[in-house]
Structure 1
Amino acid sequence: MNWKKEIENLKAYQPGKTIDDVKKIYGLESIVKLSSNENPFGFSSRVKEYLSSADFSYSIYPDGYAKTLRSSLSDHLNVSEKQIILGNGSDEVIQIIARGLLQRGTNTVMPSPTFPQYKHNAVIEGAGVKEVAVDENGRHNLDKMLDSIDENTTVVWLCSPNNPSGEYIKENELTEFLDKVPSHVLTVLDEAYFEYVTASDYYDSVSLVKKYPRLLVTRTFSKAYGLAGLRVGYGIANEDIISKLEPLREPFNNNIVAQGAAAAALTDQEFIEKCRIENRKGMEMYYELCREKGLEFFPSQANFIVIDFGIDGDEVFQYLLSKGYIVRSGKALGYPTGVRITIGTSQQNEGLIEAIRSFLNTKN
């Protein structure tokens, strides 16, 4: 068969071992998964109430326009429904953008390391990829990213807070960047971890969408809202951009359960605030450990932290796995001597920190 040459060297997403797999391999009764940046507190009780009371008609297609969810987002964000595109996770929104703007002869600019789906989708579409290394603090090098834009660039990707560093772009830096991006380029601002941010100089991206007509913001219900299993993401941009992207969206890409659950989740911002507070408390626990043990780390505005152990990240990963804690080795994330840890509950954090101390003791 005549496959696209662009996919010859692509690899399918490789999920980590399941909790049941780890239990069997290491003979453990309980496992704590802190590797995928999911919400350890689950989801709002209002979602649970909705799921228990809703009468789902599984035999018919869901609302292809997702009217209830779209209207709820419109009210929550104070934007027109026509400024919103919904995706099967924000991953699909990224895929739609790539499908609409990237092809052979074009190129796209992105930080590195960052969320891998920007590059993955660009490669599938045959576009050139320009990766600009983040600085030593894990921050976007915006000046170099601007310098990398040429007449064939169609999309620039920003991720704030960035995955995997957790660093964010300050408001003045972002607006200066957007002021200089050429008019033929769409800037995509990925805010998957927006709800966890506590920095005082973080920007209001929805206001920026209203100011900058070539800016698209992506967000998700998979992180702070705790609905990763239902796969709901969305993008916000001006009506003209959304009207170009909507025909590329699958007709029924948000299932009937997900639509209502996401709408219910939006009504409970107190839950999101509690998660933000608890996440920050947990983050401080890891900061304290790193300062005590002299470990380098990236200050994070997300719900994860990258810690540099100064040795092969796979070794740290395997040790913690044997103790019942699934984290993410930094080798696949651009930080080969580190691991990325999702902030858990207080009890989970305490247990993992104790396991890290035990590991460090084996190196003394």
Structure 2
Amino acid sequence: MKQKAILSQLTAYKQGKQSHEIQEAYGLDRIVKLASNENVYGYSEKVKDYLIKQLPELNIYPDGYTAELRTAVANYSQVDENQIIFGSGSEEIIQIICRAFVFEGRNTVMAANSFSQYKHNTLVEGGTVKEIPVTSEGSHDLEAMSEAIDENTSVVWICNPDNPTGTTITEKELLAFMENCPKDVLVVLDEAYKEFVEEDFLLDSHTYLAAYANLISLRTFSKAYGLAGLRIGYGIGNPEVIHSLNVVRGPFNTTSVAQLAALIALGDQAFIKETKEKNNREKQKFYAFLDEIGWHYYPSQTNFIYVSTPVSGMEVFQYLIENGFIIRPGELLGYPNSIRITIGTEDDMKELQCVLRKFNK
């Protein structure tokens, strides 16, 4: 059958082995998964209580407009309801953006080795990608990204905090970039990890939307809210942009269960606060450990840390997996001699430190 030529040059997303497969392969009693930046503390007890007591009507199509959650998100974010689009995770919204605005002869601009789906979906839609190296501090080089924009640029991707480096840009840097950016270029501010960002590094992104009609902010319930298995996220932008994206969006792209769980989770900000505090506490401890063993890292505003390793990241990955820990080797993310580690619970991080200390001897 005929297909897009680019498909023969791309590969489908390949996830790592599941925990039970690794346990069986290495004869392990348990596996600690610190590879996918999930919330190690689970999700709101209020969500759990509701789902236990209330069976969803699975024979009924979900609300394609996502009305109840839409109202809650609009109130929480202080935006109008027509400024919001929902997706099966913010990842689907990335796909929708590419389908709506990217085609042959057009390009998108991104930081090199940032979230892989920006590049993947651009190429699938027939576009090309300009990848700009990050700075020595691991941050987006917005000046260089601005210079890379040309008359054929459709979208600029800004991952803030970045994945995999965990670094952020400043408000001054973003606003300077937006002032120079052509108004017909859509700027996507991917804020999947925003809930983990410390106060001094937060961008009040929704307040910029009135000034910049070509800006859209993406959020997700997969990370801090702990609903990765339900796949739901949202974008907030100019109503005209949102309308174009909704034309592309499937009519029932988020499930009833996901909509309900997200609604309850959004209302439990105490859980988010507790998650953030625990994450920051364990992150600071792990910083101290990395300083002790002499491994470089980028200070992170997320629930993961990008760490440079004295040997191949694949070697560290293999050692850790044999000792019951799954992390992400940098070689699979475009960065040699490095690993990305999700911040785990107190007990798991203590155990991880013991394993890494033995490796580093």
Shorter-normalised TM-score: what interval?
A: over 0.9
Which residue identity lines up with residue 331 of structure 1 in the other structure?
Answer: E
- Which residue of structure 1 lines up, in the alignment, with residue 76 of structure 2? 76
Provide the alpha-carbon RMSD of the alignment.
0.9
What is the SS of the residue equivalent to 1:263? helix
- Which residue of structure 2 lines up, in the alignment, with residue 258 of structure 1? 258
- Which residue of structure 1 lines up, in the alignment, with residue 328 of structure 2? 328
- Which residue of structure 2 lines up, in the alignment, with residue 20 of structure 1? 20
CA contact (8 A) 1:304 1:341 kept: yes
- Which residue of structure 2 lines up, in the alignment, with residue 155 of structure 1? 155
Alignment of 1:132-143 (within 5 A): 132-143=132-143
- Which residue of structure 1 lines up, in the alignment, with residue 104 of structure 2? 104
What is the SS of the residue equivalent to 1:210? coil
Alignment of 1:1-364 (within 5 A): 1-361=1-361
Residues of 1 paired with 2:302 and 2:80: CA distance?
A: 28
Residues of 2 paired with 1:181 and 1:97: CA distance?
A: 18
What is the SS of the residue equivalent to 2:155? strand
Residues of 2 paired with 1:195 and 1:210: CA distance?
A: 22
Taking structure 1 as the reference length, the TM-score comes to 0.98
Which residue identity lines up with residue 110 of structure 1 in the other structure?
Answer: M
CA contact (8 A) 2:93 2:235 kept: yes
CA positional deviation for 1:199 = 4.6
Residues 312-337 of structure 1: CA deviation (Å, up to 9, x unaligned): 10000000001100001010112210
CA positional deviation for 1:210 = 2.5
Taking structure 2 as the reference length, the TM-score comes to 0.98
CA positional deviation for 1:201 = 3.8
CA contact (8 A) 1:169 1:202 kept: no
What percent of counterpart residues are identical?
47
CA positional deviation for 1:15 = 0.6
Residues of 2 paired with 1:334 and 1:274: CA distance?
A: 33
What number of residue pairs does the alignment pair up? 361
Residues of 1 paired with 2:184 and 2:278: CA distance?
A: 42
What is the SS of the residue equivalent to 1:340? strand
Residues of 1 paired with 2:187 and 2:50: CA distance?
A: 36
Residues 174-206 of structure 1: CA deviation (Å, up to 9, x unaligned): 111111101110100000000000051431011
List, as ranges, runs of 4+ consecutive aligned residues in structure 1 with deviation greater than 6 Å: none
CA positional deviation for 1:54 = 2.5
Residues 122-179 of structure 1: CA deviation (Å, up to 9, x unaligned): 0001101101011121100111101000011010000000000000011111111111
Residues 236-288 of structure 1: CA deviation (Å, up to 9, x unaligned): 00111111110111111111110100000000111101111111111112210
Residues 336-364 of structure 1: CA deviation (Å, up to 9, x unaligned): 10110000111111111111111112xxx
What is the SS of the residue equivalent to 1:279? helix
Which residue identity lines up with residue 20 of structure 2 in the other structure?
Answer: D
CA positional deviation for 1:80 = 1.0
Q: Could you list the runs of 5+ residues in structure 1 that have no partner in the other structure?
A: none
CA contact (8 A) 1:50 1:260 kept: no
Which residue identity lines up with residue 86 of structure 2 in the other structure?
Answer: L
